[in-house]
Structure 1
């Protein structure tokens, strides 16, 4: 046997050893994860089903009274990610309800890293609209041996996800849920316009020029998403009202003049595609 043949055989043997070692490590992690999940279920007296091919666990808590959904259907949903110890590290909010096609509900971004969590979509697909479920994913399906230190997720951490589908399927229905939740959370007293905009006139102003769609207005304003995050904008805007938000066009005329102040909450169809919360001060009006 020449030197090159010996080297070739050695390389093949080394690759086989490395591959076998990696396979054993993977199988060991699978076994360790499964044992930890089963111990958690036993300790908490929980009964979950196990997916026979992929190995995650799930429980349908409420089937839901709405329609079944398929990958091409638009859905609004909730999620709360936590460790087996109960540490919540990522969750949706009922002020910014996530919506997508069901087929894309398995895409998540944690700490600017993208993850494909197929079990989330698969469990959601088992529900009717209005349903709720709990999913337990083994660590190798989520963050693996690296964990995610930015979220305080340790190596080989199994993950629980509480999931739900909203019964509502239309954007305007979700707008109402979100806006009503904001009003309730903050004990706000607002007037609801037929357009579904909500407003509170703090002071109507003392200007003599009535605002109309052709008025040039100068306004100071603060813009927030419904979860309270301020959207960076110029502090002051000067423009013809007909060029501004549809909700401004509907609410400002006849209600405020120069010097007027109001709070205005707009549904997505009167804003820029998502509900928005404004504090507005009219500095001047020119007709």
Structure 2
């Protein structure tokens, strides 16, 4: 064997070794993600099903309610966390999100919208009342960029706990949210037949009774049930009662007058039409 042949063999062997090393070093991110997810699943001792697109899911409760399709409106829950267990984004049962099932894959983080298709696909597998856990590989989640402000690293695999509430009507969800709010805050309130809740702090000492045609001057604060004050919510208003929230029209007459204070929690249909509201109200004056 001449020296050129030996040199050629050596170069060929070196090239094979280098190619093999590079091939091992640069496994696709899908392969790396899948290995990490399978390690997590094995440690969790929970059975997951793998979808053809690469995500895994486990249906812990199918739900005893009706099946849902993309055109159906659903109230749903979500909790995003890393595989290490850190929760970085979740819904709350004080302000339950709703949407058409077909649009439940749209999420906005830091003013950037992400299309997280596996979430919609897994929710589609549930009936109302169902629950599931989803594991998204990074390429189906936030990719190589991650989201630094939420401490989501590059190529992070994401676990999402999902659920569809058994309630399908706005008034049913209002009851759920309001009852949870009252329980969380240990409130003692009276439930009106309108479904509004109220607590009279002081009835007031004014002589003019409030009616729908009364002009009232009021100090008030209004909040969502999660405690968020609505913009410009602390203010004084002068208005006829019939021009104000329907919940006010139903509760204020006969219960308070000038100098009176109360806390009032109203369902969506008695307020802004979208979500329950929590008011602190002080009646400054009443004019009939």
Give the TM-score of the pair, scaled to structure 2.
0.89
**Structure 1's 124 and 27: CA in aligned 2 closer, same or farther, altered over 3 A?**
farther
- The CA distance in 1 between the partners of 2:43 and 2:249, in whole Å, is 59
* 1:36 and 2:36 aligned: yes
SS in 1 for 2:122: helix
Q: CA deviation at 1:42?
A: 1.3
CA deviation string 1:27-53 (max 9, x = no partner): 71111111110111112222100002x
In the aligned structure 1, how far is the partner of 2:38 from the partner of 2:238? 63
For 1:226 and 1:215, the matched residues in 2 are separated by 29
**Who is 2:149 aligned against?**
150
SS of 1:144's equivalent in the other structure is coil
The corresponding residue for 2:245 is: 245
- SS of aligned partner of 1:33: helix
CA distance in 2, matches of 1:124, 1:26: 34
Query: What's the Cα RMSD here?
Result: 1.4
- What is the CA-CA distance between 1:26 and the residue it aligns to? 9.9
Q: Does 1:271 align with 2:271?
A: yes
Correspondence for 2:220: 221
Q: Does 1:48 align with 2:75?
A: no
Aligned residues: 263
**Offset at residue 259 of structure 1 (A):** 0.2
Question: What is the 5 A alignment of 1:1-287?
Answer: 28-52=28-52, 54-233=53-232, 234-273=234-273, 274-287=275-288
Radius of gyration: which is bigger?
2
Q: What's the CA shift for 1:206?
A: 0.3
Cα offsets for 1:131-169 (capped at 9, x unmatched) = 000000001111111110110001100000000010010
Give the whole-Å Cα distance in 2 for the aligned partners of 1:209 and 1:26. Answer: 81
Query: Using the alignment, how far apart are the partners of 1:91 and 1:270 within structure 2?
Result: 27
Distance across 2 between alignment mates of 1:282 and 1:221: 9
